[in-house]
Amino acid sequence: MPKPPGKDKAKCFAGVYSSATAVREGAYDAAASFRSPTGCTNATPGERDFLAWCQEERVSFPSSHITVLSSTGRALVASRAIKMGEIVVEVPDDAVLMADNCSIRDILEEEGMCKPADDEILEVQGLIIAVMYEKSLGTQSRWAPYLNLIPDDMTHMPLYWKRRELRELRGTAAFDKMMGKVQYPADAPTQVPLLWSEVVEPFIHEHPKLRLPTGKAGYDLYRWATCAVASYSFILGDDKYQAMVPVWDLLNHITGQVNVRLYHCARRHVLQMIATRDISQGEELVNNYGELSNAELLRGYGFVEAHNVNNHVQVPLGFVVRAATNVLQKNVAAEAGTAATGVGARAAGASAAVGAGHGLPSKPGPGVLRDRMSARLRLARRCGLLPPHRVFKVFACRAPPAIMTALIHVLLASDSEISTLRSAAHRAGMMAVAADQCTGRASRSKGIARSRNERGCQAAMQARTAAVVAAAMDSSDTALKRVGLVYDDVVQRMLGRYSCDVSEDKQLLAAIGRHASVPARMHAAVLARMPEKEALLSLRDSISTVRSLRKSLHSASGLQCNGPEIGGRIAVQVAASKPGIDCMITSLSGERNGDKDAPDESRFAAAQFTFGFKV
Ligand SMILES: C[S@@+](CC[C@H](N)C(=O)[O-])C[C@H]1O[C@@H](n2cnc3c(N)ncnc32)[C@H](O)[C@@H]1O
């Protein structure tokens, strides 16, 4: 069960939003089409200058114009019907603003803030300083008309929210990321006060000739530039150049409605936006900022959506490890208690039974448990069970990622189970490499160039992953019950971090639906945090029985892989330890290599495939 919110949390919620003075009736038109409570940009005074600047810089968007829409605010809209494949925006390479081409490029380079910097975070800070400097030059900057179009007012971004308002985001991915608690910290805004005091303020002091403001004025400019880079910049090309791209950045994001794609024409040195379908006159040109949840949209862009299929909750790896440690500890304690009172393990109930066979001393010190978890995490890493950026994404109404369940299984495994798992994974990896070498030779003889090493490693990793997932599927009901206890612990802890529970969020949204006036930031916070809680509650449902847990492994939703399918398949079949369990490829897509006589799956040169399990 989730921890009920403490008194202080309930008070904070009720005091601010439910009091008669705060909730005014009639200021919200729920019947109108959705408009994010925060973030819709207004027109800015400099639009005419910007259009003249675009002409000078040969930035063109002949089939569209800037307007302000009631649903998304300022936007780029088709002035006439646009055909699929038409170029709708063209920006010469040298019109973009980057750390590498700004007026203080040499200084930024000397300071290690241009590409390639030692740390990705410094590259982002390099662009932020470039934007600060160009902005501070005023009309002297080559990009002045462009920078003037970026709103001066960025207060929709949570970076400007008051502490009390930020508390409403507690528990969300937005909050954790802003605080630098989870995920890779490079992309802004994250740890802003820290980066200001450790990177940017010292830079300003060391370069007084640049006349960048210091103190509060300096921090204000830094905070604005951070928001501008977070919500208006792009990452270009394989080299991942962080850049401000005029006009490209006038497009809003609407999940599922993207109608352009981005392209770099190296021959003509221009960045292009190309229509991906026919677009009618008056229709908004829509970009895709990524598969982002409301919490992520809010942190990075300051807006939220009404219905966002990308909503999910991010479960930090650390939570899973801590929960597994707790479950182990409780089981050891329960067993010790059982032994002391002489009650049989069966009579002591599930708790003691699920701890059986962990092979730990009756009172393991924190060091013992830590070492044990570290060893299991090393195996998990080798088997591809650690998620990107150390967070698992869990969606409502979808099974939890199979690799998350498999990881918990590994974390709880006894020493003897671990050695069996290790050798199964090793065998699977070896088989994958061997199989890959065969298919690699065949592919090369057909003139398909692929990096053998890379493919081999990828195939081995996938096979090891499949082997440990297969082992988790194959484990006893008792072992899966242990996994369920860890999930319960994770869900409970995560739900306990929010400022209130989901029913309070629902009440608030219902009040908004009844035309109650609620502060915009509060409304946005609810739309960011409620789907996360719903995903956690749905996770709890989907792991409530051993059967559903087993099913979640069968769905193998975390096992979508890119790479050579043959190696994966053979190794997976070898890895399945019990007769009757077979792993097969359930879907294939990719580039066909043209060999009509080859078996079905080998006809794909670099395929995307999904492992499925058949029991
Ligand atoms: C890259 S800019 C897009 C252009 C921006 N509307 C403008 O006129 O300057 C990103 C910002 O646009 C706004 N935005 C983008 N998509 C939105 C949406 N679906 N609803 C509301 N605001 C949106 C947010 O303020 C976001 O920070």
Task: Please check the confidence at residue 463 and state whether its pLDDT lies above 60.
Answer: yes
Highest mean pLDDT pick, 20-34, 368-382, 425-439, 581-595: 368-382
For residue 215, count other CB atoms closer than 10 A to its CB: 9
Mapped onto helix, strand or coil, the DSSP state of residue 544 is coil
Distance between CA atoms of residues 2 and 290, nearest Å: 31
Distance between CA atoms of residues 441 and 444, nearest Å: 5
Mean pLDDT score, 132-139: 98
pLDDT tens figures, 236-276: 988 889 999 999 999 999 999 999 999 999 999 999 999 99
Q: Which amino acid is at 537?
A: L
Q: Look at residue 2 in the predicted model and tell me its pLDDT.
A: 30
Task: Please check the confidence at residue 569 and state whether its pLDDT lies above 60.
Answer: no
Q: Look at residue 8 in the predicted model and tell me its pLDDT.
A: 28
pLDDT tens figures, 50-76: 999 999 999 999 999 999 999 999 999
Residue 18: pLDDT band by 50, 70, 90 thresholds?
Answer: very low
Q: Return the higher-pLDDT residue of 109 and 558.
A: 109
Question: Contact, 495 vs 536, CB < 8 A?
Answer: yes
Least confident of 21-35, 71-85, 523-537: 21-35
Q: Look at residue 183 in the predicted model and tell me its pLDDT.
A: 54
Find, among 250, 290, 248, the residue nearest to 87 by Cα: 248
Residue 316: pLDDT band by 50, 70, 90 thresholds?
Answer: very high
Q: Look at residue 317 in the predicted model and tell me its pLDDT.
A: 94
Residues ≥6 apart with Cβ < 8 Å to 4 = 501
Mean pLDDT score, 161-190: 83
Q: Look at residue 14 in the predicted model and tell me its pLDDT.
A: 23
Q: Look at residue 339 in the predicted model and tell me its pLDDT.
A: 59
Q: 582-592 and 604-614 as β-strands: parallel, antiparallel, unpaired?
A: antiparallel
Q: Look at residue 389 in the predicted model and tell me its pLDDT.
A: 86
Q: Return the higher-pLDDT residue of 402 and 311.
A: 311
Is the C-beta atom of 564 inside 6 A of ligand 1? no
Nearest CA to ligand 1 atom 8: 74
Q: Look at residue 333 in the predicted model and tell me its pLDDT.
A: 78
Residue 451: pLDDT band by 50, 70, 90 thresholds?
Answer: low
Is the C-beta atom of 301 inside 6 A of ligand 1? yes
Distance between CA atoms of residues 359 and 177, nearest Å: 37
DSSP 197: I
Is the C-beta atom of 302 inside 6 A of ligand 1? yes
Is the C-beta atom of 41 inside 6 A of ligand 1? yes
Q: Look at residue 553 in the predicted model and tell me its pLDDT.
A: 76
SS3 content of the chain, % helix, strand, coil (to 5): 50, 15, 35
428 CA from centroid of ligand 1 (Å): 48
Nearest atom (ligand 1) to Cα of 231: 27
Task: Please check the confidence at residue 173 and state whether its pLDDT lies above 70.
Answer: yes
Q: Look at residue 3 in the predicted model and tell me its pLDDT.
A: 30
5, HSE (Cβ side, Cα atoms, 13 Å) = 20
Question: Rounded to 5 degrees, what angle do the CA atoms 222, 226, 231 make?
Answer: 150
Q: Look at residue 182 in the predicted model and tell me its pLDDT.
A: 64
Give pTM, 2 decimals. Answer: 0.83
Residue 210: pLDDT band by 50, 70, 90 thresholds?
Answer: very high
Is the C-beta atom of 185 inside 6 A of ligand 1? no
Is the C-beta atom of 252 inside 6 A of ligand 1? yes
Residues ≥6 apart with Cβ < 8 Å to 97 = 127, 130, 131, 134, 143, 146, 147, 243, 244
* Chain centre to alpha carbon of residue 219: 28
229 CA from centroid of ligand 1 (Å): 13
Mean pLDDT score, 217-234: 97
Q: Look at residue 186 in the predicted model and tell me its pLDDT.
A: 65
252 CA from centroid of ligand 1 (Å): 5
Distance between CA atoms of residues 525 and 166, nearest Å: 8
Distance between CA atoms of residues 230 and 186, nearest Å: 11
Mean pLDDT score, 468-493: 90
Predicted complex ipTM exceeds 0.95: yes
Q: Look at residue 531 in the predicted model and tell me its pLDDT.
A: 98
Residue 34: pLDDT band by 50, 70, 90 thresholds?
Answer: very high
Q: Return the higher-pLDDT residue of 377 and 513.
A: 377
Task: Please check the confidence at residue 583 and state whether its pLDDT lies above 50.
Answer: no
Nearest atom (ligand 1) to Cα of 302: 27
Is the C-beta atom of 227 inside 6 A of ligand 1? no
Mutate to test the pocket of ligand 1, among 155, 233, 301, 308 (most ligand atoms within 8 A of CB): 301
Task: Retrieve residue 148's tokens.
Answer: 């003037």
Q: Return the higher-pLDDT residue of 326 and 16.
A: 326
Nearest CA to ligand 1 atom 5: 250
41 CA from centroid of ligand 1 (Å): 6
Q: Return the higher-pLDDT residue of 25 and 480.
A: 480
Q: Look at residue 15 in the predicted model and tell me its pLDDT.
A: 23
Residue 577: pLDDT band by 50, 70, 90 thresholds?
Answer: very low
Q: Return the higher-pLDDT residue of 528 and 447.
A: 528
Helix (H) or strand (E) holding 484: helix 477-495
42 CA from centroid of ligand 1 (Å): 10
508 CA from centroid of ligand 1 (Å): 25
Q: Return the higher-pLDDT residue of 31 and 525.
A: 525
Find, among 152, 155, 146, 149, the residue nearest to 39 by Cα: 155
- % pLDDT > 90, the chain: 58
Mean pLDDT score, 294-313: 96
Question: Contact, 303 vs 156, CB < 8 A?
Answer: yes
- % pLDDT > 70, the chain: 76
Q: Which amino acid is at 53?
A: W
Question: Contact, 359 vs 376, CB < 8 A?
Answer: no
Q: Look at residue 381 in the predicted model and tell me its pLDDT.
A: 95
Is the C-beta atom of 232 inside 6 A of ligand 1? yes
Task: Please check the confidence at residue 94 and state whether its pLDDT lies above 60.
Answer: yes
Q: Look at residue 163 in the predicted model and tell me its pLDDT.
A: 92
Task: Please check the confidence at residue 124 and state whether its pLDDT lies above 70.
Answer: yes
Nearest CA to ligand 1 atom 14: 252
Residue 452: pLDDT band by 50, 70, 90 thresholds?
Answer: low
Task: Retrieve residue 529's tokens.
Answer: 């945090």
Q: Look at residue 436 in the predicted model and tell me its pLDDT.
A: 55
Mean pLDDT score, 276-301: 96
Residue 429: pLDDT band by 50, 70, 90 thresholds?
Answer: confident
Helix (H) or strand (E) holding 65: strand 64-69
Task: Please check the confidence at residue 104 and state whether its pLDDT lies above 80.
Answer: yes
Mean pLDDT score, 334-350: 54
Average pLDDT value over all residues in the chain = 81
